[in-house]
Structure 1
Amino acid sequence: MKTVVLGAGIAGVSTAWFLLQAGHEVTVIDRAESSAMETSFANAGQLSYGYTTPWAAPGIPTKAAKWLFKEHSPLILRPDGSLYQLQWLLKMLKNCNEASYHINKERMVRISEYSREMFRRFEAETGLNFEGRNKGTLQIFRTEKEVQAAEKDIEVLAAYGVPYSRLKAEECLQFEPALHHAVNKIAGALHLPNDATGDCHLFTQRLQKMCEEKGAVFAFNRNIERIETAGKRVTAVYAGGERFEAEHFVCALGSFSRQAMAQLGLDLPVYPVKGYSLTLPVVNSDEAPVSTILDETYKVAITRFDNRIRVGGMAELSGYGLALPQERYETLSLVVNDLYPNGGDLSQAKFWSGLRPMTPDSTPIIGATRFDNLFLNTGHGTLGWTMSLGSAKITADLICGVQPEVRYDDLALTRYAA
């Protein structure tokens, strides 16, 4: 059985892996020169199975209005000149209510928790090194208001049996000793012991090699030019002047999934939400993070790799540009310097931006389309790394006609039909 996967980011390569495990012949097509060169290249590094929360939530419109005028805002909105941006924002606003929030949160936690189990199995089977750490996430709150607001998330964690601990400021030091500089700035915290960290780019590159060893073909430096159909089936993809035939096709093109699928008349509500990161070398291990710290005030995560610190965050709705404004650098450097002033060398920091594929309800689009042999695995927003293996396994199972291990019927594109 031949399958073509469009996209060689974490979603595409992990889907290829599970298809190979099921005996498929797999070809992966991407416009970059290698895997994980775009959104998967320098994300925050969090495997945030427990910290899985929709951006569309009650109170967000009010918060967003205030954030827009804040100096170090976690949200930046710049008109991109398209009607679609406004339409997408309106759809997101419609999800900013209690009922939608709980539905979307449940979906996201379901996928994330399944992905956690997939990572556990994968690491046990392969022993792949991707600078991973299984030491949990520490979400810190700088105000009592943030502490109280976290209660809604805690209810869902409890409902799903996700372990967590509420902490006072001083108790944070048992997990992150180097936060001793900032204890007086913390009102409280939430520790999620089952969360993990890792270098998504490193993981994807090494997984690519494992896929190639199983016979997968990676066709890089190829832009997708046309998708050929016959009736209710996709018959071929034209990319880089070459025609790729297969029995099944998977779209895992992240923020560019919408454009690719539009030629087939499929309306994917995916918008590029830009994020930024800094990567700096560790200069004092004792003063650096142990795992991942999420600063709720700035929506910035600080993650420890072996000899590097990754600082990532912010959500900018401004289209497809990848410019690196100085103001975003200053926000990231402010947070890491405030919490870990002696851990890394900011003078050697590498500044990066990438586009996360976000849906209005924050839940990825996974599953079948109106074409019998075309499947989607896209729209993961800020949680593509976290949800990667779970989403990929669901996608591969559906292609193979195997009943997925978790509920999936509410993840497909059809949920937007109404």
Structure 2
Amino acid sequence: MEILILGAGVIGLSSAYYLRRAGHHVTVVDRNAAVAHETSYGNGGQLSYSYVAPLAGPGVLSKLPGWLCRGDSPVRFRPSASLDQWRWCAEFVRACTQAQSDRTTRQLLALSFLSRTLMHQMVRDEPSLDFNYVRSGKLVLHRDAHAFDAATALLEFQRTLGCEQQAFDANACVKLEPSLEHLRDRLAGGIYTESEDTADCYRFCRSLEALLVERGVQFRLRTNIDALHRTADGRVVAQSGGKPLAADCIVLAAGAASPRLLKPLGIRAPIYPLKGYSLTIPTRATSIAPRLSVTDFSRKIVYARLGDRLRVAGMADLTGYSLTPDPRRLATLRKETAEMFPHAGDHSAAVEWTGLRPTTPRGTPILGPTPYPNLWLNVGHGALGFTLATGSAQLLADWIDGRDGQIDRGTFALHG
């Protein structure tokens, strides 16, 4: 088949990889001049397969008032007149139950473990890929003793889900990651997961693009999709510059732009953007920077070593579609990084970035068919796009070709 993929971020490119491998003729379309120039450009750099619990959980609602009153809080909400925003919020609140959170976590773990297997396979099979990939392991740090005790109590339950983790006291955390020495007295402990990886999502996308071009995948960059139109025979055509783009099948992987394209077709995708921020700090030979993937649990900030750079990412702003960065949020990231890893590199040379994470209220992506026989979805991955990309793409390719996938097809299907 001739397959048109709308979106050249990590989800679209991973979809192109597995669909081309299945023998299809693939064209990737994106409005930017280069691939991965939006959400995939400066993300956290953590391939965090065991940490996929959704934002919507039973303990979140009680924390929101405190978070919303602080300028440096992990989550910020700015109400607007947007019906889509309020509808998303209402669905998010309904998802904040223990039963729904447990169900979502199990679903996401199944997809993330599949993604981990496929990522490891891709790294083995494609030696030309160069993206600062390291099986680094991950350390989630706790400053509060009660939070650490609660995390430790969950270890046995996590094992039943397939997550192998260890609880370390402050001294063991410092032994494992010496760059934390100056924080020894302020740490209650940490949870270590050996199976987590770090990598540069942007470099992954650029490297994957080169591989796909070698294998015959076509790229139409600087090409804006004006609209998706319904045809008289009940199919969908993508239109750009007033002209249709020929394809037997369309895969929508356009991130936060996807709901706008689907709306005229009568399809509501429950996706709203959560704006995130990152810093990329150049390191030096004398830098004291972490080698492990590190997450500050209370601040909800992640740190990932990417070769000679340290990526710092965090924040979730439910404030609309604007990409204009809030200087206060970036200042918070700078402040937290300076306290956490003061000698990690040249903080004054940090590169700032902001992007929109396309998020569903429950936290699960939307994969699979639509009411139109030639239109498929691979959208709504939130902050887990890089982590879930390979598994999502393989599942979609299997579904399009009528093959049985490794996860039940209805798990991530569009509903309603």
Aligned to 1:317: 318
Deviations 1:151-170 (A, max 9, x none): 57645531222211111111
8 Å CA contact 2:152, 2:191 repeated in 1: no
- 1:235 and 1:324, CA in 2 relative to 1: closer, same or farther beyond 3 A? closer
Aligned to 1:399: 400
8 Å CA contact 1:9, 1:40 repeated in 2: yes
Aligned to 1:141: 142
The yes-or-no answer on 1:388 pairing with 2:395 is: no
- 1:232 and 1:83, CA in 2 relative to 1: closer, same or farther beyond 3 A? same
**Which residues in structure 2 correspond to 1:255-266 (within 5 Å)?**
255-266=256-267
Aligned to 1:40: 40
Aligned to 2:246: 245
Match of 1:53, SS state, is coil
Deviations 1:298-344 (A, max 9, x none): 10001101110110001000001112222112211122211211111
Mapped to 2, the partners of 1:318 and 1:351 lie a distance apart of 19
Aligned to 2:90: 90
The yes-or-no answer on 1:24 pairing with 2:47 is: no
8 Å CA contact 1:284, 1:343 repeated in 2: no
8 Å CA contact 1:53, 1:153 repeated in 2: no
**Which residues in structure 2 correspond to 1:87-236 (within 5 Å)?**
87-127=87-127, 128-150=129-151, 154=155, 157-230=158-231, 233-236=234-237
Deviations 1:364-389 (A, max 9, x none): 11111111221111100110010011
Mapped to 1, the partners of 2:122 and 2:211 lie a distance apart of 12
Mapped to 1, the partners of 2:146 and 2:385 lie a distance apart of 29
Mapped to 2, the partners of 1:389 and 1:227 lie a distance apart of 26
- The structural deviation recorded for 1:132 is 1.0
Deviations 1:349-377 (A, max 9, x none): 11110000000000111111111221111
8 Å CA contact 2:142, 2:187 repeated in 1: yes
The yes-or-no answer on 1:278 pairing with 2:279 is: yes
Q: Which residue identity lines up with residue 176 of structure 1 in the other structure?
A: E
Mapped to 1, the partners of 2:287 and 2:226 lie a distance apart of 51
Mapped to 1, the partners of 2:374 and 2:244 lie a distance apart of 17
Q: Which residue identity lines up with residue 163 of structure 1 in the other structure?
A: E
- 1:392 and 1:156, CA in 2 relative to 1: closer, same or farther beyond 3 A? farther
Gap runs ≥5 in structure 2: none
**Which residues in structure 2 correspond to 1:61-76 (within 5 Å)?**
61-76=61-76
8 Å CA contact 1:52, 1:108 repeated in 2: yes
Match of 1:171, SS state, is helix
Cα RMSD of the aligned pairs, angstroms, is 1.5
Match of 2:226, SS state, is strand
Aligned to 2:52: 52
Percent identical: 36
Deviations 1:85-122 (A, max 9, x none): 11100100101011101011111111111100010110
- The structural deviation recorded for 1:249 is 1.0
- 1:232 and 1:59, CA in 2 relative to 1: closer, same or farther beyond 3 A? farther
Provide the aligned length of Structure 1 versus Structure 2: 415
Aligned to 2:303: 302
Mapped to 2, the partners of 1:330 and 1:230 lie a distance apart of 49
Deviations 1:68-91 (A, max 9, x none): 122420011112331211110010
Mapped to 2, the partners of 1:63 and 1:400 lie a distance apart of 44
Mapped to 1, the partners of 2:260 and 2:68 lie a distance apart of 29
- 1:155 and 1:84, CA in 2 relative to 1: closer, same or farther beyond 3 A? farther
Mapped to 2, the partners of 1:409 and 1:391 lie a distance apart of 13
Q: Which residue identity lines up with residue 31 of structure 2 in the other structure?
A: R
Mapped to 2, the partners of 1:285 and 1:264 lie a distance apart of 56
Mapped to 2, the partners of 1:153 and 1:229 lie a distance apart of 49
Mapped to 2, the partners of 1:167 and 1:187 lie a distance apart of 9
Deviations 1:19-74 (A, max 9, x none): 00000000111111111000000001010001111000002011111111224200
Structure 1, 384-393 or 145-154: larger mean CA deviation: 145-154
- The structural deviation recorded for 1:402 is 1.1
8 Å CA contact 1:133, 1:197 repeated in 2: yes
Q: Which residue identity lines up with residue 99 of structure 1 in the other structure?
A: A
- When normalised by structure 2's length, the TM-score is 0.97
Mapped to 1, the partners of 2:69 and 2:176 lie a distance apart of 34
Match of 1:287, SS state, is coil
- When normalised by structure 1's length, the TM-score is 0.96
- 1:286 and 1:352, CA in 2 relative to 1: closer, same or farther beyond 3 A? closer
Match of 2:87, SS state, is helix
Structure 1, 152-161 or 47-56: larger mean CA deviation: 152-161
- 1:90 and 1:156, CA in 2 relative to 1: closer, same or farther beyond 3 A? farther
Mapped to 2, the partners of 1:231 and 1:344 lie a distance apart of 59
Aligned to 1:364: 365
Structure 1, 170-179 or 233-242: larger mean CA deviation: 233-242
